[in-house]
């Protein structure tokens, strides 16, 4: 029983990061149809800024966290303004924004490595390394922090999409961009918002993960892959899908690691195999709903 | 007869120039030159798949690795004679590319990129976990240059082989481009619905072009294996894939001369930059790619066209 | 009387609760120019797409020279000689103008892939032959002068002619025209009518879905009128204009003073 509860916390911890990454994709994907693969590197930047703010400048967490979120959100916003915006404005071929973001991915990664070096950097967990227990559930404090933050962010995201006017605007743009523009929705502002929000959430994911695995310029790739796989599993349309997909992915990973008789290094292949499987079998994901602009 | 000679002239001139360079360059420069030739061979097939057929295939470098590891494992580690090793590697490349292409044929744009990216990562994992068979994370190295048809694959003689493979790849892709299948590839890349309305089997076309180009990538890989007599998993990873992208996009995607220009530019850039900027060179490449996508979508070869037009120099390069 | 070239029998298509085609039957003979008209929502596009293979039917049969073709994917239908044009012209941007026409001949090319990779003499000869045909076809539709240009610089009307040339290159037995007169200027419409008439004369069957009656009624030898997914008239175009059911369908009331 205790084993099971620990598994739940563990799944929550892993799943939380993937869920945030998946949400970061979703926030950009919905109004623009663009898959911003660079969110993995944005997460890395979040982790690095976190190290700079918390470990080097010794700022309190309540200051550091918003700083990270704001900074990475800003970087993502600037990227959109300087690159993606131009391409959308001149009706460039549909792959161009994706390619430019791939190039940005490389730029972020190299910039991060240049500024912060290639060694693993320690990122201090805000509640230290203590283990806490909430009822039958025990785990590291960081795990609970991740679960808590993910829950809050997803609640906010759900409210945004379901209850606010901008959230509805995102939906409308995803369904029919021209009609949305005709209805008075400012496409340009919406896209800016989506990139800023996507970046902010990605930065948050990186910040939350870094105490567990340390901040390193290579941490972006796994986050990017798993985040997208989570999104695919859950259905590329919906906020709930991102969460469900992330939890399922994390669960599968933990179960395979614990019970499958294959070496841990092969377990690395699991998210990729799942991704391929879902791309081929269910390009719309498990909880598919609505149109996705491709 | 004269017409055949006139048609062959540009090829002979190009071959002669390449060979002359091979004979003139020595030591370090000869190494760079040979690497550039192999990279060019790889970039040509990628350009056809991505620039012409519009398939965003991140698996390309993996097939390059497949070719390299294939001949090394079979020809050197398993002591097969070179010719059957090459043949077997080609067969494996064709079979594996079919295995990748057939299930992914319905995927468009970025989703195909993602699927092929996942395949590429699986390939790298397989290489690293291959134990003694693949040499694991350290790869295979220090093997002697084998002989093929009596030619020992090393030194200047090997450079000639590399040039021959490059020219053959260029020629094959050019023939494809000029054929009705090449037109079909372009049509499918432009508008698959309209292509189907013309009787083109879209899935079959996509699969075939994937197989042909991936196999050509494997051929380039086979040549690579004996450059330094060293293969390791880190080579056939995302970094190389990004560089190939760079060459295609910056050089001018969709055109062979564009890609070749991109290869030359990147090689010269990396040589001149490495003393100045060192490990940050990739950052600069990234910036250049972004600038190219934003401001020169037709690549450097597009700029060359503009210059040629201004100077009144006639027909554009292929 | 020989078997019809194209025969539709009892074609049904429903989308959920909406029945777009409710038992449509008609035939088409070689060299015949058949018009398909009807008010908006009558099912013309549905029938068109069912023939072309873009839509799967709920029930019914389509026979091409006696061979059932319902359910075949679009490229297979095209390969059997039933070619469609697109209302919003769909040229291939990365191909030259001549190549755009040449792509129509895809199903006529027989060289195998290895032969293409090595550029065998037979492959070269086939290519040359088709290129000649393409140039001739461009002349036929009146685009001969524009042939060295870019597809991007063509006017809409020229683009329509390109679509037609492309269709002809596949040596079709039937060409399906999807509102070919839409977006054309009056002289372009007249030219197109002439071209379609010549196509019919050459033995190719033509099915034209159209709204423009001034264009269609003089051109078509026979006309089918659809309304609410059913065929309500099949016969001479001039009689169609007088047929009460047809007038009813277009005007919607019985008590119109004609």
Q: For B62-74, what is each residue's pLDDT tens digit?
A: 999 999 999 999 8
| End-to-end CA separation in angstroms for chain C | 38
The Cα B211–Cα B94 span in angstroms is 6
CA dihedral over B112, B117, B118, B122, signed as positive or negative: positive
Chain B residues with CB-CB distance to A279 below 8 A: 104, 107, 111, 114-115, 118
pLDDT at C234 over 60: yes
- Find which of A91, A110, A228, A281 to mutate to test the B interface (most B CBs within 10 Å of its CB): A110
pLDDT in tens, B297-308: 888 888 888 888
* Residue partners of A214: CB distance under 8 A and separation at least 6: A120, A121, A122, A123
Contact C35, C221 (CB under 8 A): no
The Cα A134–Cα C188 span in angstroms is 79
Contact B207, B101 (CB under 8 A): yes
**What is the per-residue pLDDT for B105?**
86
The answer regarding whether domain C6-87+155-251 maps to CATH 3.40.50.300 reads yes
Is residue A261 classed exposed, middle or buried when 0-12, 13-18 and 19+ CB atoms within 10 A define those classes? exposed
User: Which has more pLDDT, A1 or B53?
Assistant: B53
Contact C54, B202 (CB under 8 A): no
| Helix, strand, coil shares, percent, chain A, to 5 | 75, 5, 20
Residue A36 placed within a domain: yes
Residue A30 placed within a domain: yes
Q: Which residue(s) pair with C41 in the sheet? A: none
- Find which of C105, C117, C134, C162 to mutate to test the B interface (most B CBs within 10 Å of its CB): C117
Both tokens of residue C81? 């000689």
Say how many C-beta atoms besides its own lie within 10 A of residue C258's C-beta. Answer: 6
Quick one: average pLDDT of A17-22?
Answer: 95
Q: Please give the full DSSP string across C112-157, using - where no structure is assigned.
A: -HHHHHTT-HHHHHHHHHHHHHHHHHHHHHT-GGGTTS-GGG--HH
Average pLDDT, chain A: 85
Tell me the pLDDT band of A98, cut-offs 50, 70 and 90.
Answer: confident
The Cα C133–Cα C128 span in angstroms is 9
For A120, the enclosing helix (H) or strand (E) is: none
CA dihedral over C91, B317, C117, B146, signed as positive or negative: negative
Q: By CA distance, what is B52's nearest residue in C?
A: C94
Residue C137 contacts B, CB cutoff 8 Å: no
Average pLDDT, chain C: 89
- Domain range list for chain C: 6-87+155-251
Are B114 and A275 an interchain contact pair (Cβ–Cβ within 8 Å)? yes
Is residue A119 classed exposed, middle or buried when 0-12, 13-18 and 19+ CB atoms within 10 A define those classes? exposed
Give the phi and the psi of residue C26 in degrees, each rounded to 5: -165, 170
**What is the per-residue pLDDT for A126?**
83
Both tokens of residue A5? 């509860």
Give the phi and the psi of residue B217 in degrees, each rounded to 5: -65, -40
**What is the per-residue pLDDT for A287?**
45
Q: Which domain holds residue A18?
A: 2-219
pLDDT at A294 over 50: no
pLDDT at B209 over 80: yes
In Å, how far is C36's CA from the nearest CA of chain B? 20
The Cα A287–Cα A245 span in angstroms is 9
Contact A235, A189 (CB under 8 A): no
Contact C185, C155 (CB under 8 A): no
- Domain range list for chain B: 2-236, 237-318
For helices B238-251 and B60-71, the axis angle rounded to 10 degrees is: 120
The Cα A172–Cα A194 span in angstroms is 13
Contact B116, B213 (CB under 8 A): no
The Cα B256–Cα B262 span in angstroms is 10
The Cα B314–Cα C2 span in angstroms is 57
Are B280 and A114 an interchain contact pair (Cβ–Cβ within 8 Å)? yes
Quick one: average pLDDT of A210-225?
Answer: 88
Q: By CA distance, what is C49's nearest residue in B?
A: B197
Quick one: average pLDDT of C211-226?
Answer: 90
pLDDT at B47 over 70: yes
Average pLDDT, chain B: 88
Q: To the nearest whole percent, how much of chain B has pLDDT over 90? A: 41
Are A265 and B115 an interchain contact pair (Cβ–Cβ within 8 Å)? no
The Cα B277–Cα C92 span in angstroms is 43
Task: Give C 53-82 residues with CB within 8 A of chain B.
Answer: 73-76, 78-79
pLDDT at C257 over 50: no
Quick one: average pLDDT of A255-267?
Answer: 76
What's the half-sphere exposure (Cβ side, CA atoms, 13 Å) at B196? Answer: 16
| Torsion of Cα atoms, C245 then C249 then C250 then C255, to 10° | 70
Residue B161 contacts C, CB cutoff 8 Å: no
Are A283 and B54 an interchain contact pair (Cβ–Cβ within 8 Å)? no
Chain C residues with CB-CB distance to B200 below 8 A: 75, 103, 106
**What is the per-residue pLDDT for A291?**
36
Q: To the nearest whole percent, how much of chain C has pLDDT over 90? A: 50
| End-to-end CA separation in angstroms for chain B | 24
Both tokens of residue C135? 């140039």
**What is the per-residue pLDDT for A286?**
47
**What is the per-residue pLDDT for C256?**
44
Q: Please give the full DSSP string across C74-117, using - where no structure is assigned.
A: HHHHHHTTEEE--SS----TTS-HHHHHHGGGGGG----HHHHH
Please choose, from the candidates B42, B28, B61, B15, the residue with its C-alpha nearest in 3D space to the C-alpha of residue B263.
B42
Residue A266 placed within a domain: no
Are B286 and A107 an interchain contact pair (Cβ–Cβ within 8 Å)? yes
- Find which of C103, C123, C169, C175 to mutate to test the B interface (most B CBs within 10 Å of its CB): C103
Say how many C-beta atoms besides its own lie within 10 A of residue A262's C-beta. Answer: 12
Q: In what order do the strands lie in the sheet with C59-64?
A: C18-28, C6-15, C59-64, C67-68
Q: How many CB pairs under 8 A join A and B?
A: 100
**Per mean pLDDT, which range of A131-145, B141-155, C26-40 is the poorest?**
B141-155
pLDDT at A283 over 70: no
Q: By CA distance, what is B289's nearest residue in A?
A: A103
pLDDT at C211 over 60: yes
Please give the distance of CA C146 from its chain centroid, rounded to a whole number. Answer: 24
Contact C107, C77 (CB under 8 A): no
Q: To the nearest whole percent, how much of chain A has pLDDT over 90? A: 31
Is residue C172 classed exposed, middle or buried when 0-12, 13-18 and 19+ CB atoms within 10 A define those classes? buried
Please give the distance of CA A21 from its chain centroid, rounded to a whole number. Answer: 1
**What is the per-residue pLDDT for C2?**
58
The Cα B219–Cα B221 span in angstroms is 5
pLDDT at C241 over 60: yes
* Residue partners of B142: CB distance under 8 A and separation at least 6: B229, B230
Are C75 and B196 an interchain contact pair (Cβ–Cβ within 8 Å)? yes
Quick one: average pLDDT of C67-92?
Answer: 92
pLDDT in tens, B268-288: 888 887 777 766 788 888 888
Number of domains in chain A: 1
A106 → closest Cβ in B110, B111, B282: B282
Are B200 and C75 an interchain contact pair (Cβ–Cβ within 8 Å)? yes
B179 → closest Cβ in C84, C94, C127: C127
Tell me the pLDDT band of C1, cut-offs 50, 70 and 90.
Answer: very low
Q: By CA distance, what is A270's nearest residue in B?
A: B122
Contact A174, A292 (CB under 8 A): yes
Say how many C-beta atoms besides its own lie within 10 A of residue C52's C-beta. Answer: 19
pLDDT in tens, A108-147: 998 988 888 888 888 888 887 788 888 778 788 888 889 9
**What is the per-residue pLDDT for A292?**
38
User: Which has more pLDDT, A181 or C49?
Assistant: C49
User: Which has more pLDDT, B165 or B130?
Assistant: B165
Are B183 and C102 an interchain contact pair (Cβ–Cβ within 8 Å)? yes
The Cα C169–Cα C85 span in angstroms is 12
Quick one: average pLDDT of C185-211?
Answer: 93
Are B190 and C95 an interchain contact pair (Cβ–Cβ within 8 Å)? yes
């Amino acid at each position: 029983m205790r084993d099971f509860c620990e598994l739940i916390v563990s799944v929550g911890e892993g799943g939380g990061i993937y869920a945030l990454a998946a949400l970061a994709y979703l926030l950009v994907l919905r109004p623009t149809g663009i898959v911003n693969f660079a969110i993995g590197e944005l997460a890395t930047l979040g982790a690095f800024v976190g190290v700079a703010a918390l470990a080097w400048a010794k700022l309190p967490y309540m200051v550091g966290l918003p700083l990270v979120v704001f900074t990475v959100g800003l970087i993502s916003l600037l990227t959109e303004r300087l690159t993606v915006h131009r391409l959308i404005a001149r009706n460039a071929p549909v792959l161009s924004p994706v390619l430019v973001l791939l190039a940005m991915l490389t730029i972020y990664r190299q910039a991060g490595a240049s500024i912060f070096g290639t060694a693993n950097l320690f990122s201090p967990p805000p509640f230290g390394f203590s283990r806490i227990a909430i009822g039958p559930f025990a785990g590291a404090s960081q795990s609970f922090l991740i679960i808590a933050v993910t829950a809050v962010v997803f609640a906010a995201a759900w409210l945004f999409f379901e209850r606010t006017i901008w959230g509805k605007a995102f939906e409308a743009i995803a369904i029919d961009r021209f009609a949305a523009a005709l209805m008075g929705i400012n496409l340009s502002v919406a896209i800016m918002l989506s990139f800023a929000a996507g970046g902010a959430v990605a930065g948050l994911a990186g910040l939350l993960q870094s105490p567990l695995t340390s901040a390193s310029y290579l941490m972006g790739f796994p986050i990017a892959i798993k985040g997208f796989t989570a999104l695919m599993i859950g259905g590329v349309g919906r906020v709930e899908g991102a969460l469900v997909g992330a939890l399922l992915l994390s669960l599968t990973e933990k179960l395979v690691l614990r019970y499958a008789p294959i070496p841990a290094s092969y377990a690395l292949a699991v998210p990729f195999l799942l991704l391929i499987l879902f791309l081929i079998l269910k390009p719309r994901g498990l909880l598919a709903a609505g149109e996705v602009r491709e | 007869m004269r017409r055949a000679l006139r048609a062959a002239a540009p090829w002979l001139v190009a071959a002669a120039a390449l060979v002359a360079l091979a004979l003139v360059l020595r030591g370090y420069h000869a190494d760079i030159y040979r690497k550039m030739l192999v990279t060019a061979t790889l970039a040509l097939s990628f350009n056809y798949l991505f620039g012409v057929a519009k398939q965003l295939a991140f698996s390309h470098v993996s097939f390059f690795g497949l070719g390299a590891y294939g001949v090394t494992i079979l020809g050197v580690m398993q002591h097969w004679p070179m010719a059957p090793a090459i043949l077997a590697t080609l067969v494996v490349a064709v079979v594996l590319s079919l295995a990748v292409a057939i299930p992914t044929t319905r995927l468009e744009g970025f989703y195909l990129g993602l699927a092929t990216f996942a395949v590429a990562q699986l390939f790298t994992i397989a290489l690293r976990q291959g134990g003694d068979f693949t040499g694991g994370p350290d790869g295979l190295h220090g093997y002697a240059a084998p002989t093929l048809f009596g030619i020992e694959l090393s030194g200047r003689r090997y450079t000639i082989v590399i040039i021959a493979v490059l020219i053959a790849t260029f020629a094959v892709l050019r023939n494809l481009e000029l054929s009705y299948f090449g037109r079909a590839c372009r049509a499918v890349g432009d508008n698959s619905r309209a292509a189907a309305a013309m009787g083109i089997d879209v899935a079959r076309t996509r699969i075939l072009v994937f197989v042909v180009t991936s196999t050509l990538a494997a051929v380039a890989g086979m040549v690579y294996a004996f450059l330094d007599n060293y293969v390791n998993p880190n080579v056939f990873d995302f970094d190389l894939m990004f560089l190939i992208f760079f060459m295609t996009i910056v050089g001018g995607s969709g055109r062979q001369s564009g890609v070749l220009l991109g290869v030359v530019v990147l090689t010269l850039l990396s040589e001149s930059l490495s003393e100045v900027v060192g490990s940050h060179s990739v950052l600069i490449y990234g910036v250049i790619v972004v600038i190219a996508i934003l401001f020169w979508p037709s690549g450097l070869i597009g700029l060359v066209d503009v210059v040629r037009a201004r100077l009144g120099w006639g027909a554009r390069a292929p | 009387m020989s078997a019809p070239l194209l025969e539709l029998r009892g074609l049904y298509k429903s989308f959920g609760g909406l029945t777009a085609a409710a038992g449509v039957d008609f035939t088409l003979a070689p060299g015949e120019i058949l018009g398909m008209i009807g008010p908006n929502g009558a099912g013309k596009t549905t029938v068109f797409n069912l023939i072309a293979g873009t839509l799967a039917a709920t029930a019914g049969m389509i026979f091409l020279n006696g061979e059932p073709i319902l359910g075949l994917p679009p490229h297979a239908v095209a390969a059997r000689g039933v070619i469609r044009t697109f209302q919003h012209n769909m040229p291939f941007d990365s191909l030259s103008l001549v190549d755009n026409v040449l792509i129509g001949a895809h199903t006529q090319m027989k060289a195998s892939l290895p032969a293409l990779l090595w550029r065998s003499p037979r492959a070269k000869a086939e290519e040359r032959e088709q290129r000649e045909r393409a140039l001739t076809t461009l002349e036929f539709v009146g685009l001969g002068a524009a042939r060295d240009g870019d597809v991007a610089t063509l006017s809409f009307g020229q683009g329509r002619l390109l679509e037609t040339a492309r269709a002809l290159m596949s040596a079709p037995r039937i060409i399906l025209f999807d509102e070919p007169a839409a977006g054309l200027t009056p002289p372009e419409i007249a030219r197109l009518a002439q071209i379609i008439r010549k196509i019919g004369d050459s033995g190719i069957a033509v099915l034209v879905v159209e709204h423009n009656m001034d264009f269609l009624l003089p051109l078509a030898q026979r006309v089918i009128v659809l309304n609410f997914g059913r065929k309500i008239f099949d016969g001479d175009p001039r009689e169609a204009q007088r047929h009460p059911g047809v007038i009813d369908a277009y005007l919607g009331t019985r008590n119109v003073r004609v």
